[in-house]
């Protein structure tokens, strides 16, 4: 039986993707989780196990440590060789990346380089990369051929990694980059959602206001060139995003079985943009969200919305869930954790 290595598998998107994978691939592959627990919790492993009915292998390893990473590959080489990698593990806070770019390049770029070195050494040629819409310049309905123009070090690290993957793909193998926009929401049962050790994105902050842990939400800037002056983003339900990963992995598996070389990149978004105030107003239908306008953050942009047409045409994937569902699932999740 071949293995699928999922880095950052106890994180927000990784954990939910694992549960979605089990619905489609079942027990055809051994799933191995790798996580350093910097922005995740060990208890998530038990939650995943309760959902899928199986305890998965977990390796508490940092991708910056090449030797420990290599040992994970070596352990499974004989009986369950790692043949597919879904790479989620990364630091992802835009503001923090501006304050500490070295930390971000070290973790995201060097860590991924280590992972790709191991993949090459152990002959794993199927790589699904968690990229980001921050590789683009601001814009509406941005398609995949838009030039790279990141506005912060976090986005820069994703660009560097995408260049590396593109170079590797010319030697053969199968590589997919998913450039996703703004994942939000939680699973319907409220068991898995975003619980960062330190909130950095809009929804985790709103959630903390919703349950009374924070007095108010700070809205960074209200003089952008948008309909209400606040930044507009393409928010995508995390279940839609997880399903996109399943579809993408199935594409890699199909190409691998035919021994075809393959390289592509896709936007994972809805094509619809909502401002910060739009989100606050929608969430406030569930519970009042008090907010205060404050200064813009360095590295933020006015508007960034996906053109998802290529993904629909080539992978057959579209986002199915809307903003109301995103807010409702988010609130149900955070209430259940009180």
* Residues catalogued as catalytic: 154
Q: Output the CA–CA distances (angstroms, integers) from residue 195 to 13, 15, 198, in the order listed.
A: 11, 12, 8
Please write down the long-range contacts of 70-74, taking CB distance under 8 Å and 24 or more positions apart: 70/118, 70/121, 72/5, 72/32, 72/34, 72/118, 73/5, 73/118, 73/119, 73/121, 73/122, 73/124, 74/122
Assigned token pair, 91: 């630091």
How many Å separate Cα 28 from the centre of its chain?
Answer: 24
Assigned token pair, 320: 């199915």
Residue 242: closest CA among 320, 335, 309, 313 = 320
Q: What are phi and psi of 37, to 5 degrees?
A: 65, 15
The DSSP code sequence of 233-259 is E-EEEHHHHHHHHHHHHHHHHHHHHTT
**Do the bridges between strand 174-180 and strand 126-132 make them parallel or antiparallel, or are there none, so unpaired?**
parallel
Give CA–CA dist 219/46, Å, rounded. 35
Helices 323-336 and 202-210, packing angle to 10 deg? 50
Instruction: Give residues with Cβ within 8 angstroms of 225, minimum separation 6.
Output: 302, 303
Residue 236: closest CA among 337, 332, 338, 305 = 305
CB 110 within 8 A of CB 160: no
Task: Report DSSP state, residue 190.
Answer: S
Task: Report DSSP state, residue 135.
Answer: G
- 3-state secondary structure at position 86: strand
């Amino acid at each position: 039986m071949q293995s699928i290595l999922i880095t950052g598998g106890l994180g927000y998107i990784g954990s939910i993707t694992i549960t979605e994978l089990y619905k489609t691939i079942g027990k055809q592959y051994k799933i191995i989780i790798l996580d350093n627990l910097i922005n995740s919790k060990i208890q998530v492993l038990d939650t995943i196990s309760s959902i899928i009915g199986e305890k998965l292998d977990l390796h508490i390893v940092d991708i910056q440590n090449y030797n420990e990473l290599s040992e994970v590959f070596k352990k499974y080489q004989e009986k369950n060789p790692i043949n597919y990698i879904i790479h989620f593990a990364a630091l992802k806070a835009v503001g923090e990346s501006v304050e500490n770019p070295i930390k971000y390049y070290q973790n995201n770029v060097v860590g991924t380089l280590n992972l790709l070195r191991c993949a090459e050494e152990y002959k794993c040629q199927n790589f699904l990369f968690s990229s980001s819409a921050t590789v683009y310049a601001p814009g509406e309905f941005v398609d995949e051929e838009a030039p790279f123009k990141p506005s912060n070090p976090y986005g820069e690290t994703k660009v560097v990694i995408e260049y590396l993957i593109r170079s590797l793909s010319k030697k053969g193998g199968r590589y997919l980059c998913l450039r996703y926009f703004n994942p939000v929401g939680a699973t319907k049962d409220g068991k898995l959602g975003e619980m960062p050790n330190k909130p950095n994105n809009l929804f985790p902050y709103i959630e903390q206001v919703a349950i009374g842990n924070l007095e108010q939400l700070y809205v960074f800037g209200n003089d952008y060139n948008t309909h209400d002056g606040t930044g507009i983003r393409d928010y995508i339900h995390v279940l839609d995003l997880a399903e996109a990963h399943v579809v993408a992995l199935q594409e890699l598996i199909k190409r691998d079985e035919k021994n075809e070389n393959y390289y592509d990149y896709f936007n994972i978004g809805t094509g619809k943009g909502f401002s910060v105030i739009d989100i606050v107003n929608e969430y406030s239908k569930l519970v009042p969200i008090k907010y205060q306008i404050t200064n813009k953050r360095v590295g933020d942009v006015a508007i960034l919305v996906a053109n998802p047409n290529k993904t629909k045409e080539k992978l057959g994937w579209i986002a199915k869930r809307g903003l109301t569902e995103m807010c409702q699932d988010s609130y149900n999740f955070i209430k259940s954790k009180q």
